[in-house]
């Protein structure tokens, strides 16, 4: 459904709110350069978030309340458009705020990322005057518009997978007065027509760096993206592209995560109950499920078992338990309390998933439990390896 015609925007108030947001982002250390500050003060974020969902906690999980501006709520809507908050604009790959009258449940599939993270990533990307940038994940078009304001529209190409989100972003970016190249396609393919690029920024995450990105960003160019996976581990990495489709760089500070690139989303866990009922070896474990919800160890665990997915489920009428399930190899690991403040692990199938997780966690502990900034990524056409300390240090291959 098309969004309803909005009430007139108080442009004077919108400019005040942009100024306030820019100051807040600068005070927080996210906005570090005058050029990006000027872009935040100029780009009308309200054009990109004409409608959005407000998040709240309901008795059965997260609830999303549609916010559609009317004469009555126009002033609070405008304030929210310039708050440093992520505004979800699409649920479940197709539900938009104007489609529903009541709060709904659902999984976010498109959003305007919180401005402090948007500008921080743009500062990390550090494009220079005249640079050509490829953005993967146009979303609402806010970050695209910021880049157009900073670099000029003809230097900006942005790709969005979702046709509805792409259409809305196109309208918003045009209403804001910019004319970048907007592509509705899979950003994992890049956009060869406008290559080579000096910079590539992804605001969806990837399990592996697509080969096309390395072909389309010039040697010496920069890629800023989050690397994530099916255990919800995530890390923001900045790569410098080398010759012959190689790249290398370190992970950056912060707990940054994005929705995973749609073609790389985890497959449905069909047959999980049957798999968990298979024969298994049981033993005590020193490493409990708490590592799966702590930022850096969660990332390390994911590196160790890149095809495994997490499932929290009770089996055989027992208590809720934590499971890892690797569908391709039909392997699993289940963590069950041992009744003495510890855990037992039950492992079945050809791979011993928890053995691999324990080994990786031991390696990380032996290095002194360093933060994610001690990790880096080296990409070659043959292999993508996340390492600890230095490229010669211990490491784990990303999935191919």
Ligand X SMILES: C[S@@+](CC[C@H](N)C(=O)[O-])C[C@H]1O[C@@H](n2cnc3c(N)ncnc32)[C@H](O)[C@@H]1O
Stretch touching ligand X by CB under 6 A, among 63-71, 103-111, 211-219, 283-291: 103-111
Interaction residues for ligand X, span 139-178 (CB under 6 A): 139-140, 142-143, 159-162, 165
C-beta closer to ligand X: residue 62 or 378: 62
Q: Residue 136 interacts with ligand X (CB under 6 A)?
A: yes
- 384-388 β-sheet, strand order: 181-184, 156-160, 133-136, 197-202, 217-228, 234-241, 247-251, 375-379, 384-388, 395-397
- The number of beta carbons lying within 10 Å of the beta carbon of residue 281 is 10
188, 287, 292, 377: which one contacts ligand X (CB under 6 A)?
Answer: 188
Provide, rounded to whole angstroms, the least separation between the CB of residue 339 and ligand X.
43
Interaction residues for ligand X, span 56-95 (CB under 6 A): none
* DSSP per-residue letters across 340-390: SSSEEEEEESSS-HHHHHHHHHHHHHHTT---GGGEEEEE-SS-EEEEESS
Cis peptide bond prior to 358, omega within 30° of 0: no
Q: Residue 47 interacts with ligand X (CB under 6 A)?
A: no
Only one residue has tokens 């907007």, namely 182
C-beta closer to ligand X: residue 263 or 318: 263
# of chain residues touching ligand X (CB under 6 A): 27
- Quote the tokens at residue 169: 């972003």
Stretch touching ligand X by CB under 6 A, among 4-12, 108-116, 275-283, 331-339: 108-116
C-beta closer to ligand X: residue 162 or 374: 162
Provide, rounded to whole angstroms, the least separation between the CB of residue 154 and ligand X.
19
187, 221, 306, 348: which one contacts ligand X (CB under 6 A)?
Answer: 187
C-beta closer to ligand X: residue 137 or 297: 137
CB within 8 A of 242, min separation 6: which ones? 219, 248
110, 157, 194, 222: which one contacts ligand X (CB under 6 A)?
Answer: 110
Provide, rounded to whole angstroms, the least separation between the CB of residue 42 and ligand X.
15
CB within 8 A of 165, min separation 6: which ones? 89, 90, 109, 110, 138, 139, 140
C-beta closer to ligand X: residue 261 or 307: 261
Q: Residue 186 interacts with ligand X (CB under 6 A)?
A: yes
- Phi/psi region, residue 147 (left: phi>0; alpha: psi -120 to 50; beta: rest), is alpha
**For the purposes of burial, counting CB atoms within 10 Å of the CB of 152, is it exposed (0-12), middle (13-18) or buried (19 or more)?**
middle
Stretch touching ligand X by CB under 6 A, among 1-9, 104-112, 242-250, 357-365: 104-112
- The number of beta carbons lying within 10 Å of the beta carbon of residue 400 is 9
Q: Residue 180 interacts with ligand X (CB under 6 A)?
A: no
Q: Residue 336 interacts with ligand X (CB under 6 A)?
A: no
**Gap between the Cα atoms of 17 and 12, Å rounded:** 9
- Quote the tokens at residue 317: 């009428």
Tell me if residue 238 falls in helix, strand or coil.
strand
Q: Residue 113 interacts with ligand X (CB under 6 A)?
A: yes
Provide, rounded to whole angstroms, the least separation between the CB of residue 330 and ligand X.
28
Q: Is residue 111 annotated as part of the catalytic site, yes or no?
A: yes
Residue nearest to ligand X (CB): 139
- Phi/psi region, residue 240 (left: phi>0; alpha: psi -120 to 50; beta: rest), is beta
Stretch touching ligand X by CB under 6 A, among 95-103, 180-188, 235-243, 345-353: 180-188
CB 64 within 8 A of CB 103: yes
Q: Which of 111, 112, 205, 334 is catalytic?
A: 111
Interaction residues for ligand X, span 259-278 (CB under 6 A): 259, 261-263
**Gap between the Cα atoms of 230 and 244, Å rounded:** 29
Q: Give contact residues for ligand X (rule: CB under 6 A).
A: 109-113, 118, 136-137, 139-140, 142-143, 159-162, 165, 186-188, 203-204, 258-259, 261-263
Residues with a catalytic annotation lie at 111
């Amino acid at each position: 459904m098309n969004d309803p015609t909005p009430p007139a925007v108080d442009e004077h108030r919108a400019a005040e709110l942009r100024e306030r947001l820019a100051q807040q982002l600068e005070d927080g250390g996210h906005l570090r350069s005058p050029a990006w500050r000027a872009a935040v003060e100029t780009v009308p974020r309200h054009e990109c978030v004409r409608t959005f969902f407000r998040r709240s906690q309901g008795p059965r999980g997260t609830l999303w309340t549609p916010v559609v501006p009317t004469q009555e709520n126009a002033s609070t809507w405008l304030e929210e458009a310039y708050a440093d908050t992520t505004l979800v604009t699409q649920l479940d790959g197709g539900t938009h705020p104007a489609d529903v009258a009541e709060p709904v449940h659902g999984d976010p599939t498109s959003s305007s990322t919180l401005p402090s993270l948007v500008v921080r990533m743009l500062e990390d990307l550090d494009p220079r005057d005249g640079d050509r940038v490829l953005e993967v994940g146009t979303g609402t078009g806010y970050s695209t518009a910021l880049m157009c304001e900073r670099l000029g529209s003809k230097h900006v190409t942005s790709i969005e997978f979702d046709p509805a989100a792409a259409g809305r972003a196109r309208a918003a970016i045009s209403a804001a007065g910019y004319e970048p190249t907007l592509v509705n396609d899979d950003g994992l393919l890049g956009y060869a027509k406008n290559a080579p690029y000096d910079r590539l920024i992804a605001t969806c995450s990837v399990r592996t760096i697509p080969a096309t990105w390395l072909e389309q960003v010039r040697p010496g160019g920069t890629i800023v993206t989050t690397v994530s996976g099916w255990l919800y581990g995530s890390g923001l990495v900045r790569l410098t592209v080398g010759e012959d489709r190689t790249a290398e760089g370190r992970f950056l500070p912060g707990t940054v995560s994005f929705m995973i690139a749609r073609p790389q989303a985890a497959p449905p866990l069909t047959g999980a109950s049957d798999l968990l009922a298979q024969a298994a070896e049981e033993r005590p474990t020193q490493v409990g499920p708490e590592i799966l919800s702590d930022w850096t160890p969660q990332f390390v665990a994911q590196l160790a078992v890149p095809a495994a997915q997490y499932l929290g489920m009770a089996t055989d009428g027992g208590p809720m338990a934590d499971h890892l399930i690797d569908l391709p190899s039909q392997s699993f690991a289940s963590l069950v309390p041992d009744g003495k403040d510890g855990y037992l692990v039950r492992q079945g199938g050809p791979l011993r998933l928890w053995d691999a997780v324990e080994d990786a966690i031991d390696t990380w502990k032996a290095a002194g439990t360093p933060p994610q900034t001690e990790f880096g990524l080296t990409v070659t056409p043959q292999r993508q390896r996340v390492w600890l300390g230095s490229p010669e240090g211990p490491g784990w291959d990303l999935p191919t």
